[in-house]
Amino acid sequence: MKIFRTMASVVVTIMIATLIVAGARAAAADSIDPDADFKAFRDYFTKLFPNVPLNDFVNGPYSMDAELRKQWEAIDDFPPYDFAIDRGKQMFATPFKNGKSYGDCFPDNGIGIRQNYPYFDDKTGEVITLELALNRCREANGEEPYSYVKDEMASLTAYMAFTSRGKPFDIKIPDDPRALAAYQKGEEYFYARRGQLNFSCASCHVQNPGNHIRTEVLAPALGIVAAMPIYRSEWNGMGTMSRRLVTCNSQVRGVPLKPQDELYRDVEYYLSYMSNGLPISGPGARP
């Protein structure tokens, strides 16, 4: 009898040990590794386009198509977003009714800091984008928030991007499970299919960069947020990050989320982290 009890104990011990190891391996497989993602992401695009200099990816479709690039360079003497920069500079310098101004809400008075956004705020446990920070600044100083998809927000972010032109993205993911979770939610949003047309962001920007839908050349996902906000000829005007995300959703026949929805901020966080080291090129012009 005793030998059976011993054998049973041994078997059970082995079973438990196996489960612990398997559990650990499963956890490792599921563990979020932004640095591994980052390296794989960058390698994918640089291998796909070996003739595109790394920093040129921030120019989106112009890095993919020589003809398009010529057209873009032709308008560079009078960039269509200049008016937005001027307006944004003026707005930035104009105090709120309470005497404070935008600079008071940001490090370095808000100049040359765009490349640090989005960041993870450990106090509130959420991703803070530049657009969100600007509206929170307004509300904290007794002002009405701006629409995230209209020209005022585009002007402010155009100016702030302009003061950071050329500075490399420096997005941080603190060693905080909530930050990692936000990063992963952003990654999931990017790769998940949505809308009646069943596209994910990756369908166009990972699987088909440089290809064209009708006549529109698709940008690579690497560096895709570096040029925001953009003047889009198709829109005859400026478009914020929020406007672009909302439009992409509708184009695949998905009902857009509210601008600056948690998932939109998470996907911006993910894409910005993937673009770390690449220079801010905003505000940008696009066809």
> Taking the complex as a whole, how short is the minimal distance between the CB of residue 45 and other proteins, in angstroms?
9
Cα separation, 42 vs 50, whole angstroms: 12
Of the pair 128, 274, the CB lying nearest other proteins is at: 274
**Long-range contact pairs involving 109-112 (C-beta distance under 8 Å, separation at least 24):** 110/160, 110/163, 111/160, 111/163, 112/163, 112/164, 112/167
7 dihedral zone (left: phi>0; alpha: psi -120 to 50; beta): alpha
Contact status, residue 69 vs residue 75, Cβ threshold 8 Å: no
Contact status, residue 247 vs residue 239, Cβ threshold 8 Å: yes
> Taking the complex as a whole, how short is the minimal distance between the CB of residue 203 and other proteins, in angstroms?
4
Tokens of 82: 């200049």
Helix (H, G, I), strand (E, B) or coil at 123: coil
32 makes contact with other proteins (CB under 8 A): no
3 makes contact with other proteins (CB under 8 A): no
Of the pair 17, 36, the CB lying nearest other proteins is at: 36
Of the pair 16, 197, the CB lying nearest other proteins is at: 197
98 makes contact with other proteins (CB under 8 A): no
208 makes contact with other proteins (CB under 8 A): yes
Rounded to a whole number of angstroms, the CA Rg of the chain reads: 23
Q: Site for other proteins (CB under 8 A): how many residues? A: 35
Of the pair 110, 256, the CB lying nearest other proteins is at: 256
214 makes contact with other proteins (CB under 8 A): yes
Q: Which of residues 158-187 bind other proteins (CB under 8 A)?
A: 187
Query: Which region, judged by CB under 8 A, interacts with other proteins, from 18-26, 131-139, 145-153, 188-196?
Result: 188-196
CA angle 88, 92, 96 (to 5 degrees): 130
> Taking the complex as a whole, how short is the minimal distance between the CB of residue 194 and other proteins, in angstroms?
6
Contact status, residue 233 vs residue 150, Cβ threshold 8 Å: no
Residue in this structure with the two tokens 């695949």, named with its chain if needed? 252
Residue in this structure with the two tokens 């914020």, named with its chain if needed? 240
Query: Which region, judged by CB under 8 A, interacts with other proteins, from 112-120, 152-160, 200-208, 226-234?
Result: 200-208
Q: Are strands 126-128 and 119-121 parallel, antiparallel or unpaired?
A: antiparallel
194 makes contact with other proteins (CB under 8 A): yes
Is 248 catalytic? The answer is yes
248 makes contact with other proteins (CB under 8 A): no
For 236, other C-beta atoms within 10 Å of its C-beta total 8
Residues acting as catalytic residues: 248
Would you tell me which residues interact with other proteins (CB under 8 A)?
37, 40-41, 44, 187-188, 191-200, 202-204, 206-208, 211-216, 250, 253-255, 257, 261, 263
